[in-house]
Amino acid sequence: MTAKATELKLDIGRIGTVSAILMQPDNARACYVLAHGAGTDMRHVSMDKIAVGLSMRGIATLRFNFPYTENKQGRPDQPAVAHATIRAAVEEAARLCPGLKLVAGGKSFGGRMTSQAQSKAALPGVKGLAFLGFPLHADKKPSTERAEHLAGVAIPMLFLQGTRDGLADLSLLRPVVAALGAKATLHEIEGGDHSFAVLKRSGRTNDEALAEVLDTLAGWIDDLA
């Protein structure tokens, strides 16, 4: 499928404006509001690969910068600012992609901020949340505190996690997902790290691991009511 990338400005009310990119293939059947991780921005090569890969699978994406990345500040925004940015992005996606199934989430920090926002007040029109590496805890500091808010999310959730992810000990994440019941699905990417990169000795490439991530995500989106 062909897809064009449209550069946008996202208005976050009193907070200001940030850049965004809509990539919408012909005959798209859904739109994924894709938030970036803490150490990257919407133009990072990984974000571009995800957007292009999803467009090839018939899924539009709206990716955007958080204010701290837009303004080239090192420290991530306070949660309230991140939540407001995500809400603005969801509203813009609904406006630009009328009639398309709407899902939200993203990489690491971006996915966690999206679920926090959803737990506080439902993101209008969003049918499910998809996490591309949920950051359950800081590196080498196993904990489940960051997952406590997920109990307040009532819509389906997909956790795509590498088995070598240093920010999500699977012995902790598996029971967290199980406790969420039928609304939560965990798909493990064998040998993948927090960015789904695999070791050479695994016998497959990073691109093949990413294809598994995107195929799984597209299939899950299709299965959403």
* Per-domain residue ranges of the chain: 3-223
Q: Which whole-number Å values give the CA distances from 117 to 84, 85, 104, 114, 165, in the listed order? A: 8, 10, 11, 5, 24
Q: Which segments of the chain have a pLDDT < 50? A: none
pLDDT at residue number 193: 97
Tokens of 191: 């040998």
pLDDT at residue number 119: 98
pLDDT at residue number 4: 86
pLDDT at residue number 74: 85
CATH number belonging to domain 3-223: 3.40.50.1820
SS3 for 104?
A: strand
pLDDT at residue number 62: 98
